[in-house]
Amino acid sequence: MGASDAFVFVTPEYNYASPPTLINALDYLVHEWAYKPAAFVSYGGASGGMRSVQMTKMLLTSLKIVPIPEAVAIPFVPKMLDAGKLKATEVLEKSATTMLDELHRWAVALAPMRAG
């Protein structure tokens, strides 16, 4: 994790919140996350996992991780599966491209802070 410049967290919504495994991983690697941007691909029911993302963003800021607003939310994910594979829509693909482009911009902008 220390060598990475940015992160994309792929997360479900778990009981209207972040999954405990994600929280544990974030807490465990405190220093490796600092001054790096993070984006989310979330999935779930009607909310597409966004409640999990909003909760996790609060934790990220306390760990000096910069959560970006651009994200990919996949609602009703079981309906989008075909033979166990996600059938991405044009909207999801555009969302992913926008998110990754913005994540790269933030990674470059934060690089001087990680160099110190």
Query: Under DSSP, is residue 110 helix (H, G, I), strand (E, B) or coil?
Result: helix
Q: Where are the domains of the chain?
A: 7-115
- Residue 98 identity: T
**CA terminus-to-terminus distance, the chain:** 17
Q: Which of 16, 37, 14, 35 is nearest to 24 (CA)?
A: 14
Mean pLDDT score of the chain, rounded to an integer? 94
Please compute the mean of the pLDDT values over residues 27-35 and round it to a whole number.
88
Cα dihedral 104, 6, 13, 23, rounded to 10, equals: -160
Ranges of beta strands (E only) in 6-45 are 7-12, 36-44
pLDDT for 115 equals: 83
CATH superfamily of 7-115: Flavodoxin domain (3.40.50.360)
**pLDDT band at residue 30 under the 50/70/90 scheme:** confident
Q: What percent of the chain has pLDDT over 70?
A: 99
